[in-house]
Chain A
């Protein structure tokens, strides 16, 4: 996709505030932190899950376990793209009868979330699964909706939303990259 331009959507402070609000919403909605497990989707969902864990620890004084999940083996387009190197999957607690909070950076078609649901259900029988995303950019292709959204950003399919996080990219920002309209 030829890049025509890009627009900064969120800066480091915006991301920090969004994560603080999401952390409060998760705890409020679940009436506390008991039996919560945060599961970050590789790659950038993992640092987001860790940040949520930090925020929750600050105001609740409790540490919610964090797991990481790579969903490559559950994708529905494995045979349509070059195979990717796999990242670790490790969930430190048994998720059966827990409330799993899935954390992803961008919610788009919903296919990643679908794959994550399958992967989680193969690992146990959670009491509930809820979905957190930092950015919801629309264009869902599956009946999936997030429970907690950092920011809704209307986009066109020709645009790309890049979430960059300090832990992975050395900078905290969300950028909208405009591509050429090839429709």
Chain B
């Protein structure tokens, strides 16, 4: 049907040219610096709206946003719903587990049904990498990828960029250590596009089994990155420490000897965080396995921006919905 669009097994060794007009947000690989700046600026204004006594504007009145989630989610799904409602849109939430998907309805039929019911925006999470690309090709709605398999989670990356810029005043030149299960992380992948685009220096750190090899893509990783197995090396001089969730549900097992050993080698503790720059920002896309990849004291410590990430997620998603809502320029 539309296999060519999901042919993402091919390495992306060059940035895709920015779409002339944007209707979908599928990953950050087709964003330009200017477009990211526009989203972040707009999100700043949206944050103002959220701080007013009446946290609502009528911009998207009469529009409908459908969240279609084939995987569990709290902050992304609720973040989108709160964002849509703050802009005056109506929201409908479909969980695959309680929909006709369980009767065998295909993804495309499900999407067509949602469109026939009047969805202007489809926010979609799917366990298969590339699923939103197939959908985007088939429907007239705007499709926003809220996570597809190991592939991409662009709105998380945008809210991470927003949080870094809000707290540290810039993105360019920051040393960002991403720690943990990089291989299975769509958050890491989208962040790599965003962070490298905006001029941050990224260092990836994790056990060898969870760190993508340069041979991960034919032609090498499309990013010029530092990689290390030693967390202390990654933390040294870091402005931002982004801890990833140990994605036990995506792993086939055997990637590390035991959870205890992982905690001993890679958990972000107060002692380890002291090796980063003073005041370094601690981030986590959530949900956290406290006591596994991050010590609860660090997660709730003064350097943690983890709750701010969730709040900023609403503003960033409002910005995207607003920017997607107009006619193409």
Contact = CB atoms under 8 A, between A and B. Distances in A.
Given A74-B59, A79-B325, A118-B58, A85 B41 contact: yes
Nearest to A90: B48
A73 interface: yes
Contact of B326 (A74, A81, A87): A81
B98 to A, nearest CB: 32
Given A86-B45, A88-B48, A90-B48, A78 B56 contact: no
Interface residues of B, number: 25
B41 A122 contact: no
Nearest to A84: B326
What's the interface size class on A, roughly? 20 to 34
Contact of B58 (A70, A73, A80): A73
Given A82-B328, A122-B54, A122-B57, A73 B323 contact: no
B103 interface: no
Nearest to A91: B52
A112 to B, nearest CB: 15
Contacts of B1: none
Interface string A123-157: 11000000000000000000000000000000000
A85 B41 CA distance: 8
Contacts of B46: 86
Contact of A82 (B41, B42, B329): B329
A78 B326 CA distance: 6
Interface of A: 70, 72-75, 78-83, 85-90, 118-119, 122-124
6 contacts: A74-B57, A81-B326, A82-B328, A82-B329, A83-B325, A90-B48
Given A80-B326, A124-B53, 16 more contacts: A72-B59, A75-B59, A78-B326, A79-B63, A82-B326, A82-B328, A83-B322, A85-B38, A85-B41, A85-B42, A86-B42, A87-B45, A88-B45, A89-B45, A119-B57, A123-B54
